Chain A
Amino acid sequence: DTAVSQTPKYLVTQMGNDKSIKCEQNLGHDTMYWYKQDSKKFLKIMFSYNNKELIINETVPNRFSPKSPDKAHLNLHINSLELGDSAVYFCASSQGTGSSEQYFGPGTRLTVT
């Protein structure tokens, strides 16, 4: 009974390709997030959706486009992949945007060669 799941777990691709990472949560939460963890393990928020509406959009290249088809899913599409996109991407969810805790998925390790 995985609460927040991501696919794929590992993704190796070449520069210039377009790829997607999928995230699903079965917690009934209404808010979902994407985080990027770099090689130094620093975690930074990229996007947040509440009830399928974008509410946080950090300074992220527009090659990254999140899509939320429904409250339980938040996918991340990346165009024209670059070497610097190599990182671990974590999806998370929470109930509301206030003080509730966030539950994290297992992460997707993206390697761009």
Chain B
Amino acid sequence: AQSVSQHNHHVILSEAASLELGCNYSYGGTVNLFWYVQYPGQHLQLLLKYFSGDPLVKGIKGFEAEFIKSKFSFNLRKPSVQWSDTAEYFCAVKSSNTGKLIFGQGTTLQVKP
């Protein structure tokens, strides 16, 4: 069965620190990969997505992610976080076969000013 695993459940950083959130998935076929962010009390918003092509994708607010097919990974990065990046981050995988969007458990990011 398809699954998505996010390694870090709770990350605490100081402003200007670099961020990397891990995401691994288990599925052998063609997948589309997403990172969503959920700010406190708000709905999910798309940060970035990978469908095909360049495995390094850039999203909004300075976020980027790299798809490494051999490692089944899609890690999220940001060189310098801000206090406003405090939120819940979800990695998600969609298989072209089932059409289902499978989410990871989420990572809570807390940025201290």
Contact = CB atoms under 8 A, between A and B. Distances in A.
Interface of A: 4, 33, 40-45, 48, 55-56, 90, 97-99, 101-107
B13 interface: no
B27 interface: no
Interface residues of B, number: 24
12 contacts: A4-B43, A41-B38, A41-B106, A42-B105, A43-B44, A43-B106, A45-B102, A56-B99, A99-B94, A99-B96, A104-B36, A104-B45
Interface of B: 32, 34, 36, 38, 42-46, 49, 51, 88, 90, 94, 96, 98-103, 105-106, 108
Given A43-B103, A45-B102, A98-B99, 13 more contacts: A4-B43, A41-B106, A42-B105, A43-B106, A45-B100, A48-B99, A48-B100, A56-B99, A98-B96, A99-B32, A105-B43, A106-B42, A106-B43
A42 B4 CA distance: 11
Contacts of A106: 42-43
Nearest to B99: A97
B100 A56 contact: yes
